[in-house]
Amino acid sequence: MYDLDLSLAEAMAISDLFCIAGWLSIVFSKNFWWLDVGRFSVGCGIGVFSYVVPVYISEITPKNLRGGFATVNQLMICCGASLMYVVGTVLTWRVLAIIGLAPCLLQLLGLILIPESPRWLAKVGQHEEFEAALRRLRGKDADICEEAEEIKEFAENLRRLPQGSLFELFQKKYLHSVTVGVGLMVLQQFGGVNAIGFYASEIFVSAGFSSGNSGMLAMVAVQIPMTTLGVFLMDKAGRRPLLMVSAAGTCLGCFLVGMSFLSKDQEWVKELNMLLALAGILVYTGSFSLGMGGIPWVIMSEIFPINVKGVAGSLVTLVSWLGSWVVSYAFNFLMMWSSAGTFFMFACICGLTVLFVERLVPETKGRALEEIQASLNFF
């Protein structure tokens, strides 16, 4: 469980070491045990990165740019995954593991140069380092007095509170934040994203395509521009509208795929079924990339006060990756039960996401972290 008594830069460095160890284990593996150990180690590192990186970005950026900067993280993930999809068609898995080492080593070296989070420095009482880091981030000629005062005042209030524990998260004062955080992750994962991502090729073949390669390349072509569009819209349209549009789009995409499977046995509409499956997967992929892929992680980094951010982030990340495993593991069994029913079920969950966001998720665009957290949590 990630502990924010450890600095964010230190947490990222430890995560890099886990990833490096994991990739080396995979590269030099002689049997499946070493592959499993390597994948477990990489998984531990990526699990910490998935929360710590958005938190670090949200804590160092100005409030009017925070959403866009945090979503760039998702864009880079999307670009990297898409690139590996393409490269993986011509390279062996050992070569891919060697390539995976490069960004880990580069980031480990780059961490030497980055400033620590000003909010973490204020929280641990390093006031001189706090002001130096904030000035370095905002520029030497920027007026940081008002922002610095807000951060210090909020950090002082938090210092009077005990360090958050897992049980304390479920007290009334944190209930709204925990509900939003856990709820978004459950809905994100059980909307079927990893099932569709991991089994896209098989889905295309099941829908009647002779091969899944063309469909996979079409997915890659949709993901990157839609994620890029999300980056530009994040601090203009706001989190809530993008989330609702994104969730509605994933609902439509799953419904189209479900309809293609429902009428699969009708030979006279075979080409239409294939078109529905392709359109559904692309609508789902594009819609998810627009908002549901990155915005839940942006919101997670914004809504938890720093005294519970470590334990809350650990809980949210655990829920996310556990949900990913459950859906990925169960997907083949669900498809054997009913291909159409599986996608209609995903569509229902995506539809519920729209209602959940409309009812419970706060708009955080253009608001200071301290303002967001004070409005959600009672001190």
The secondary structure of 271-325 as a DSSP string is HHHHHHHHHHHHHHHHHIIIIITTHHHHHHHHHS-HHHHHHHHHHHHHHHHHHHH
Ranking 70-84, 208-222, 347-361 by mean pLDDT, the lowest is 208-222
Q: Where are the domains of the chain?
A: 166-378
Distance from C-alpha of 108 to C-alpha of 112, rounded to nearest angstrom: 7
Task: Give the contacts of 198 (CB within 8 A, at least 6 positions apart).
Answer: 328, 331
- Can you tell me the mean pLDDT for 12-38? 93
Query: What pTM value is reported for the model?
Result: 0.80
The secondary structure of 122-175 as a DSSP string is HHTT-HHHHHHHHHHHH-TTS--HHHHHHHHHHHHHHHTSPPP-TTGGGSHHHH
Residue located via tokens 């099941």: 206
Distance from C-alpha of 244 to C-alpha of 50, rounded to nearest angstrom: 22
**Which whole-number Å values give the CA distances from 284 to 83, 123, 226, 279, 288, in the listed order?**
20, 41, 11, 8, 6
| Residue 15: band (very low, low, confident or very high) from pLDDT cuts 50, 70, 90 | very high
Distance from C-alpha of 173 to C-alpha of 352, rounded to nearest angstrom: 25
Written as six digits, the tokens of 118 are: 């000003």
CA dihedral (179, 181, 186, 192) positive or negative: positive
Rounded to 10 deg, the angle between the 295-303 and 66-87 helix axes is: 140
The dihedral formed by the CA atoms of 5, 44, 373 and 61, expressed in degrees to the nearest 10 = 90
Top pLDDT among 153 and 288 is at 288
Written as six digits, the tokens of 114 are: 């980055």
| Residue 209: band (very low, low, confident or very high) from pLDDT cuts 50, 70, 90 | low
Top pLDDT among 249 and 237 is at 249
Distance from C-alpha of 279 to C-alpha of 365, rounded to nearest angstrom: 32
Residue 2 has a pLDDT of 46
Residue 82 has a pLDDT of 77
Ranking 117-121, 232-236, 263-267 by mean pLDDT, the lowest is 263-267
| Residue 1: band (very low, low, confident or very high) from pLDDT cuts 50, 70, 90 | very low
Superfamily covering domain 166-378: MFS general substrate transporter like domains (1.20.1250.20)
Asked if residue 283 lies in contact with residue 253, where contact means CB atoms within 8 angstroms, the answer is yes
Written as six digits, the tokens of 127 are: 């006031």
Whether 268 shows a pLDDT value over 60: the answer reads: no
Residue 165 has a pLDDT of 64
Summary mean pLDDT of the chain? 84
Number of H helices, E strands in the chain: 17, 0
- Per-residue model confidence as pLDDT tens digits over 135-183: 888 888 888 888 888 888 777 776 666 655 667 777 788 888 899 999 9
Whether 198 shows a pLDDT value over 80: the answer reads: no
